[in-house]
Amino acid sequence: MVNTYNVQLVNGKAVRNAVRGMLIVVIALAVASMASAQDNSGNSQAPQVKFKGGIGVIPVTGVAANGTVNLNTVRGVTPGAPWRIVDLEATVGFDGHIKVTGRGLLLASGNGIGTNAGQSVHATLFCGAAATATTHNTTTTGVALEADGDFRIDDFLSPPPPANCDTPVLLIRNVGGVWFAAGIPQTEDTNRK
C-alpha cells in the first residue's frame, strides 16, 4: 500500500523546486534585459558615434578661373600639407570618452615625404550642420606620431558632445590646429559589409 501523504509531499517539493527554477530564470532574463537597455540608452560604455576608416587631407579643392586657390577647409579648420592615412578607427561615448587608433599618418609631399614630420595630433569632433556645428576637442594638447605614423588617443572631449551628434565629423589635427586626416562615420550599412 502506498502512503498517499508521502506521494503528495514528494510531488509538492518537485513543484516548488520547478517554480523556484523558473523564477530564477525569469529574474536572470529581466536583469540581462535591463543591462542591455541601459547600454543602448546612454551608458558611458556604449558608443555614441563610431568612425571606421580615414581620409588623408588634400589641401586644395580646386583653383578658380581668376587663379584663386580654394582650400579644403572643413568646419572652419584649414588643411595642412598633403597627408595620407592607412587606417583610422574611433569611438566616442556618451560621456565624451574618445578612443582613436590611427595607422600610417604620414606626410605625402615635399622633402619630408613619408615621415611623421615630428608632429603631434589631437582629435576634434564636430556635431551638427556645417554652419551651426558644435566643436568638441580632446583635452590633451597632442599625442606624438610614431615614426611609422601610428598613434593612439584615449581621452575625453571638452565639452562632451550632445546626446545626439548629427552629421558627425572627426578631424585629426596638429597642435597648430590644421587638419591632417578625417574619420569616416560608421553607419548601420558599414556594419553589414
Least confident of 40-44, 47-51, 88-92: 40-44
Cα–Cα distance for residue pair 59/108, rounded to 1 Å: 11
Question: Which pLDDT value is given to residue 187?
Answer: 79
Phi, psi of 182, rounded to the nearest 5 degrees: -130, 145
Does the pTM exceed 0.85? Answer: no
Whether residue 12 has pLDDT greater than 90: no
Give the model's pLDDT for residue 131. Answer: 92
Backbone angles phi, psi at 144, to 5 degrees: -65, 135
C-alpha cell at 76: 572652419
How many CA within 13 A on the CB side of residue 89?
Answer: 3
Mean pLDDT (the chain) is 84
C-alpha cell at 137: 576637442
Whether the pLDDT of residue 117 is over 70: the answer is: yes
Q: What is the pLDDT of residue 76?
A: 95
Mean pLDDT for 6-25 is 56
Question: What number is the average pLDDT over the span 97-117?
Answer: 97
Q: What pLDDT does residue 1 have?
A: 54
Backbone angles phi, psi at 131, to 5 degrees: -70, -25
